[in-house]
Structure 1
Amino acid sequence: MSEVKGLTSQQVKEQVQLGHVNVSPKPLVKTNRQIFCEHVFTLFNVYNFVIACALIYVKAWSSLFFVLIVTMNTVIHIYQDIRSRNMVARLNLIISPKTKVLRDGCIQEIDNEEIVLNDVVFLETGMQISSDCIVLDTQVEVDESLLTGEADPVLKDIGDHLLSGSFIISGACHACVEHVGMDNYATKIASEARKRKPVTSELVKTFKKVTRFTSMLVLPISICLLYQAMGIRNETLNTTIVNTSTALLGMLPIGLVLLTSVSLATSVVRLGKRKVLVQEMFSIETLSHVDVLCLDKTGTLTQGKMQVQDVYTFDTQWRNQFSLIMNSFVKGTLDNNATSLTLQDYFQGEAPYSTLRRVSFSSARKWSALELENIGTIIVGAPEIILPDFVLPTQIEEAKHQGARILLIARHHDFDTFQEDMMHSVPLAVIVILDPLREDAKETIQFFKDNDVDVKIISGDNPVTVSALASQAGIENAQNYIDASTLSTPQELEDAILNYHVIGRASPSQKHEMILCLQKHKQKVAMTGDGVNDVLALKDADVSIAMGSGSDAAKQISQFVVINGELSTMVDVVKEGRLDINNVTRSASMYYLKTIYTILISITCILLNMPYPFIPFQMTLLDNFVEGFPSFMILFEKNISKQKESIGRYTMRYSFPNAIAIVLCVIALKLLAPTLSLSLNQAFTILYYTTAILSIHMIYRIYSPINLYRTVVLIVDIVAFVLVSYITYDLLQLAPVTSLLLQYLIMTLLFGLIVSTCLSKIVVHYLDTHPQN
């Protein structure tokens, strides 16, 4: 092989001066100004601004308290978004990919953006190709699936082109850079190679639907309310503006959008402090729904710190030369996987035999081979793949059943024919490699079992070895395993992933198909991996998690990167997801209660030609003591149980019955007010307290079953509401509560509680008999 020479420092400087540097468009990171504009200039804030201007125009100063709340919410949101962005940026620096280049005769590791045109780069297994280049010296296998969609590896020979954005999955080579920056293939297709699977957020979908619906209603309802107030009832401009503004404010669940985004952004920061990079914020939500967690063995279940425990040589003519053969093998190999590095650490003596040709290791083959001068072809890999009928010594079998990795070293006389004639290879030795189980593995697996997540181990290693380690980690039915190399049809593969928890000898394409099979059966799948052999599966999993010590390929495609590589950190990730989704789901019912009854009361007011029964200050108090305080306090409860219902069904279960009860109370009082000799102000006073108590009743239902903490929160909420209402009685514009008014209030309240209780039973029965798909 001819010697490869890279650029000199002077040549690099010349290329830099010419502008031939691999500077690509920066990732779309929001600036402070963009974040500010994004949160200030929103549809919600436009509505609030218009309403505030109208109230200022009529000098309704006491009704402007909501402006302070909206402003505080916006400021908090901006601060949290900037904080979250900065945390992600810091963690991105830690995992930022590097490239090895040959300069001045030495291999140097530089940032991708420091590559210049005609640089000679050294590419190894697992590395993402950062610039288009041409292979100079050795065959490599490349995964171009992220660029072309084709899952099969592509063999690249000397003189072939390597596309930026693809990954080396087997072998290593020197390559000459032919394009940089904007001229790169991946850049031209808008960096598709780095795009992860889009995250579908049920929360966002629900919020957008509600926003679109309420936005459609705002204009027609406001026109009708304004026309009736001024054109039919001849009310003053001040009264008209105040009543109409209250109705419009109640339709917008402003705080819920803020609560959701802040909750998720806070989780990004919390996970960042635990050395977890969140590359897709809404993947935190998806994680809370996960049904199955698929783990790799090496580097995930195990520590990834392999050590050679034993070398068992067979009685052949090569026995005395075995150490020299292996020293030469590890010196000549270009593989950089964990097994190869372990062998390189162990065999470090004299290497007298030159490498003539090589076949690099791949996860699909399960072996690598080198043709050594004066020796022949040396094959290193899985015994059952190289020599399927070979019987291992008893002590080696025992080591395998205890979780050790077994490598067979064999020799074949002819490099040109050995792949077709591997069965006639001569076994030279067996190497026993230990990779200890992670200390936190058993505890982590137990957490997932206790929290309704089915854990499956899918590995390319020997199924017996995988089974032994899975048993030590506490995987369910670990002793029942299957060898994926025996699966020949799609149906057999589907049966395997559905019925087994331990699968060995799985190829990269099989891992991918298994993920798709689980999804076909309506399972939400999380996949962890650290090698390039996991990329296809990571790409299509609902949630993808890469270990920080893994390949560039795995880290670039994953939604989460566990930088510290600790398995127990995944528990924190799942807990954060479930905490967020449970808190937001419960809080949504509190916010949507007001949205539902405000829309229905507004329509009722139009039909019955009556003014809206609340003023903005009253709604502000209801917001704070029905939505704000209870939803905020529930965030401190660590509810990590799996969500059982969608946000829509949860809202229907809790918000709908109480909202309908409030609306029926409005209709009843409007119709009965003349008979009971109630003034409009007295009727609206009864409705204010009825709405507050029925809302708190809904909170009680959401909080059930009641514990000490929830009891204290409810008591504080009720006492605070009563005290604030008493202190601000004049601002609330309520009628004095006489004994007669109190009687009517109690009767209205009993009517509302009876209606909400009956409706609740009907809704609960319907939901329980019509389970969620």
Structure 2
Amino acid sequence: MDNIKLADINPEQGLTGSQVQKQIESGNKNTAEKSLTKSVKEILTDNIFTLFNLINIVLGALVFYTGSYKNLLFLGIAVINTIIGIIQEIRSKRQIDKMVLLAEDKNTVIRDSKEVQLLPEDIVLGDIVQLSRGDQVPVDGEVVISKSMQVDESQITGEAKTITKQSGDELTSGSYLVGGSGRMLVTKVGSDTFVNHLSNEASQGKDAPSILLNIINRIIKALSIVIVPLGVILFVVKLYQGLGINRSILGTVAAMIGMIPEGLVLLTSMTLAVSAMTLARKRTLVRDLPAIEALARVDTICLDKTGTITSGDLKFESIISLVDSTSIDQLKEMVGAITYGTGDSNETAMAIKNEVVNPQIPVTAVEAFSSERKWSGVEVAGEGAYILGAPQFITKKLNSKVQKQINEYAADGYRVLAIAQADHLATEQPLSNPKIIGLLLISDVIRPNAKNTFNYFRSQDVNIKVISGDDPVTVSSIAKNAGIENANQFIDMSTVNDNDDFGKLAADNTVFGRVTPDQKKRLISGLQDSKHTVAMTGDGVNDILALRQADCGIAMASGSEVPRVLLILY
């Protein structure tokens, strides 16, 4: 790193001015997120310089030469058609550019022991970034100071889980702090960051061509080959008949215009434009007009579970006691003591707080939820430790009866958490004498209109595929409850190799769990290789490659973006 070692950077002081300058000169500076839309220049070029417009301009120039300006009205069709395309694409571009993967807010960076406000593109490798609740992580880095830092990575992983970060843990650009605060050391900038890597790959993707417009363009190309020699012959014949140059030109142009399907071109553009306006009233933004046509031809829809089938909210279902000596009310008190005592604010904790009141039990020690431990807990004087978390991470010695119960609840679509007691909390080593005494069932809330929607797709012979980053068993059960056919055919994509046949995997299964962003893209590509027209819906950064690969990408806005736009058709 040009004599600047990351390990030597003091999180209280940050980089000095000279070190920052050296990083900039070395090219270790962050870059702005690459736009996923065309530039205004590209939009103008693509809409103006077309074969249809070229033919009309040449014919218009010939009419202009004759001085018969009233006969130039046919150019209005070309002008209107071009304006419709330009206005629609620029309008969509402006809306989509507002919904970038990374917020454009300034970040607090420590330099020369002082706090400075910088845009993400001004951050350099080795900077110390101060993060607080509600902040988005602008670049990839490593936690150097954590004050109960809780991070929501659902936009990255697709899993609606809040993760507690400790010093030394990695932070990924695009994730959010939902609790606590801390500082991170910037370890990646520019194209090396997760978000910029995805943006660069997505921007290299090609938009799905419009079959209808391609057919029209082929007709125009074929006609241009025919009408040019015919036009020349017709012009010569008219001259031979003694009509004069001007009348010969006007007669020839009139005949050639009659051969060009100008009305069809305008009708197509008007139809797509009116469709885009209709969708806009339903809070759906169309980025490219041909996407409307692609949507009509879709025979396979790939869905992301979180935020698409489910609302993203969790619901407290019930508590099951596994020992006669502990009642349901006692287990609720224990769960309340853990949830309120740790101060966790993740989705699971909020679901519990909605059903369980604070028992006001004083605690002597606290361990917040950690993605490594997969449990949280508190110590209560005279009672030992209360633990809540993933059963297999609390104890490795689950008896067969409890394991069977857990598997049955998981197969029904529940998230199963174990309630346990231990002698005391232990972070670095296994818990001391843990004993599971109860189970807590949490469910994902399925969107109210999900079943009706999937029934409609089934009546239209549209296949549904669920592609998620969550556990395949849980996703399969949720998909089954939502009314998706063949939801029992699922696969854990973490067991799949890069050399496997993704086309066969996509054809043989309905639910795909533990899927990476690249695997989502390859699954859709596999379906397309089998001649399917594929639509992909998603609401996270982890879906962007798949959205661009699909014939029709449907990006579902979330959070503060919902009032502005609900969907974007790619």
* TMscore range, shorter length: 0.5 to 0.7
1:46–1:354 CA distance, 2 compared to 1 (3 A): same
Does structure 1 conserve the Cα–Cα contact (< 8 Å) formed by 2:202 and 2:548? no
> Does 2:76 match 1:68?
no
Once the 2 structures are TM-superposed, how far is the Cα of residue 290 of structure 1 from its aligned partner?
1.8
Gaps in structure 1 of 5+ consecutive residues: 8-19, 106-110, 147-155, 362-366, 556-560, 578-773
- 1:433 maps to which residue? 442
1:251–1:514 CA distance, 2 compared to 1 (3 A): same
Distance 2:394 2:290 in 1: 42
Match of 1:529 among 530, 533, 538: 538
> Does 2:144 match 1:136?
yes
Match of 1:285 among 279, 285, 293: 293
> Does 2:338 match 1:325?
yes
Amino acid at match of 2:338: I
3-state SS, counterpart of residue 297 of structure 1: coil
Distance 1:504 1:382 in 2: 24
Distance 2:46 2:531 in 1: 36
Distance 1:283 1:196 in 2: 18
3-state SS, counterpart of residue 201 of structure 1: coil
Residues 375-416 of structure 1 show CA distances to partners (whole Å, capped at 9, x for unaligned) of 889673476998687544998778666654333456897655
Moved more, 111-120 or 216-225: 111-120
Distance 1:44 1:383 in 2: 66
- 2:268 maps to which residue? 260
Does structure 1 conserve the Cα–Cα contact (< 8 Å) formed by 2:142 and 2:171? yes
Once the 2 structures are TM-superposed, how far is the Cα of residue 82 of structure 1 from its aligned partner?
2.6
Amino acid at match of 1:51: L
Once the 2 structures are TM-superposed, how far is the Cα of residue 438 of structure 1 from its aligned partner?
2.3
Amino acid at match of 2:285: L
1:68–1:310 CA distance, 2 compared to 1 (3 A): same
3-state SS, counterpart of residue 440 of structure 2: strand
Once the 2 structures are TM-superposed, how far is the Cα of residue 450 of structure 1 from its aligned partner?
1.4
TM-score normalised to the size of structure 2?
0.65
3-state SS, counterpart of residue 73 of structure 2: helix
Distance 1:163 1:394 in 2: 36
Residues 199-255 of structure 1 show CA distances to partners (whole Å, capped at 9, x for unaligned) of 12133544444455555556555445444554x666633453234223432454334
- 1:368 maps to which residue? 374
Does structure 1 conserve the Cα–Cα contact (< 8 Å) formed by 2:35 and 2:199? no
Alignment of 1:90-109 (within 5 A): 90=95, 93=98, 98=103
1:453–1:386 CA distance, 2 compared to 1 (3 A): farther
Tell me which protein shows more helix as a share of its residues: 1
> Does 2:61 match 1:48?
no
Residues 415-458 of structure 1 show CA distances to partners (whole Å, capped at 9, x for unaligned) of 5566xx99x97535422123343221222112111112012344
Root-mean-square deviation over aligned CA pairs: 5.9
Once the 2 structures are TM-superposed, how far is the Cα of residue 330 of structure 1 from its aligned partner?
5.2
Match of 1:269 among 265, 277, 288: 277
Distance 1:68 1:34 in 2: 27
Moved more, 207-216 or 386-395: 386-395
1:426–1:4 CA distance, 2 compared to 1 (3 A): farther
Distance 2:13 2:138 in 1: 17
Alignment of 1:410-421 (within 5 A): 415-416=427-428
1:54–1:436 CA distance, 2 compared to 1 (3 A): closer
Alignment of 1:11-160 (within 5 A): 44-55=52-63, 57-58=65-66, 65=71, 67-71=72-76, 74-75=79-80, 77-78=82-83, 81-82=86-87, 85-86=90-91, 89-90=94-95, 93=98, 98=103, 120-122=129-131, 129-131=137-139, 135-137=143-145
Amino acid at match of 1:437: I
Amino acid at match of 1:405: R
Amino acid at match of 2:374: S
Alignment of 1:458-473 (within 5 A): 458-459=467-468, 466=475, 469-473=478-482
Distance 1:86 1:497 in 2: 36
Gaps in structure 2 of 5+ consecutive residues: 1-9, 15-28, 111-116, 157-164
Does structure 1 conserve the Cα–Cα contact (< 8 Å) formed by 2:388 and 2:420? yes
Distance 1:119 1:347 in 2: 40
> Does 2:416 match 1:406?
yes
1:54–1:531 CA distance, 2 compared to 1 (3 A): closer
Does structure 2 conserve the Cα–Cα contact (< 8 Å) formed by 1:459 and 1:466? yes
Distance 2:73 2:291 in 1: 32
Amino acid at match of 1:78: I
Distance 1:98 1:270 in 2: 29
1:104–1:56 CA distance, 2 compared to 1 (3 A): closer
3-state SS, counterpart of residue 464 of structure 2: strand
Distance 2:341 2:175 in 1: 27
Distance 1:381 1:237 in 2: 88
1:80–1:58 CA distance, 2 compared to 1 (3 A): closer
> Does 2:448 match 1:443?
no
- 2:313 maps to which residue? 305
Does structure 2 conserve the Cα–Cα contact (< 8 Å) formed by 1:129 and 1:163? yes
Amino acid at match of 1:303: S
Distance 2:435 2:482 in 1: 36
Amino acid at match of 1:309: E
Moved more, 45-54 or 299-308: 45-54
Does structure 1 conserve the Cα–Cα contact (< 8 Å) formed by 2:475 and 2:513? no
Alignment of 1:218-237 (within 5 A): 220-227=229-236, 229-230=238-239, 236-237=244-245
Once the 2 structures are TM-superposed, how far is the Cα of residue 357 of structure 1 from its aligned partner?
8.5
3-state SS, counterpart of residue 299 of structure 1: coil
1:344–1:545 CA distance, 2 compared to 1 (3 A): farther
Once the 2 structures are TM-superposed, how far is the Cα of residue 500 of structure 1 from its aligned partner?
4.5
Distance 1:342 1:50 in 2: 68
- 1:242 maps to which residue? 250
- 2:485 maps to which residue? 476
Does structure 1 conserve the Cα–Cα contact (< 8 Å) formed by 2:534 and 2:551? yes
Amino acid at match of 1:283: A
Amino acid at match of 1:434: S
Does structure 2 conserve the Cα–Cα contact (< 8 Å) formed by 1:132 and 1:163? yes
- 1:452 maps to which residue? 461
Instruction: Give 1 or 2 for the bigger CA radius of gyration.
Output: 1
Alignment of 1:504-543 (within 5 A): 505-508=513-516, 514-531=523-540, 534=543, 537-538=546-547, 540-543=549-552
Corresponding pairs, count: 511
Distance 1:119 1:26 in 2: 26
Does structure 2 conserve the Cα–Cα contact (< 8 Å) formed by 1:136 and 1:175? yes
